[in-house]
Structure 1
């Protein structure tokens, strides 16, 4: 029986250098190469981590706008990619200053006790959020908020 509701598939990223971008996501976020598709003039690399895929496309185009610290605010663009870790400080210590931090780390304890986030950029300027401690709001609170 076919599944009628859509499920998440992947995010496609344009890369100045696919090998550099692939190394970034495999080294820091546990992705592995899942498939390479030769589409004639373009070779597309699929990376996988669990059920999450990134699709890496080559490009020589320059960015059309400047990225802000936590991602672009332009309509029609993704603001950032996000990953959860157990400990933001431990993740950054492991990185030994190899990741370009664009913002933070910042604590959001006023919203969720223990929620902490840092934003870094990948080799192509895509902002990547790394958080610890985020939890969903209880259903009864969400119902009260409408």
Structure 2
């Protein structure tokens, strides 16, 4: 009998109005690099990587479902936001400068976890991207 290996995280696929603009956002603000292009008829799929995180970008049409002034949409079946960790939210924001597409925060969540601090950015397609510091799992 063969035992299956545990599943590991693979990627998130995003629909983009303009793949080049979305790719530039994730490269510039979040350190991603293109690692593969897959032809798909008249279009292509772009794969971007930052460490173990892989994003798959598809060309798409239509309007975003996201509310750029919240931490993401409350609708069932729709991703609320993507989240990344940093050691220092303020240093991250200082590095981004005035051009950072901040949509909310930074906010402190010290009442829940001492040192937990978060800011939200909006990508070119309206996807909310959270960047936080200080989160840790609850003691068991």
Question: For 1:40-89, what per-residue CA distance to the aligned partner results, in whole angstroms no more than 9, with x for missing partners?
Answer: 132000001111100000112223x3525100110001100001011111
C-alpha separation between the residues in 1 aligned to 2:129 and 2:62? 21
Pairs within 5 Å for 1:1-146: 3-63=4-64, 65-67=65-67, 68-139=69-140
Moved over 6 A (4+): none
Unaligned runs of 5+ in 2: none
- Structure 2: how far apart are the matches of 1:46 and 1:66? 22
How many pairs align? 138
> Cα RMSD between the aligned structures?
1.5
User: Once the two structures are superposed, what CA deviation does each residue of 1:77-127 show, in whole Å capped at 9, x if it has no partner?
Assistant: 110000101111111111112122111110000111100001110111100
SS in 1 for 2:47: strand
**Structure 1: stretches of 5+ with no match in the other structure:** 140-146
Give the deviation of 1:5 after TM superposition. Answer: 2.6
1:96 is paired with a residue whose SS is: helix
Stretch moving more, 79-88 or 65-74: 65-74
* TM-score normalised per structure 1: 0.88
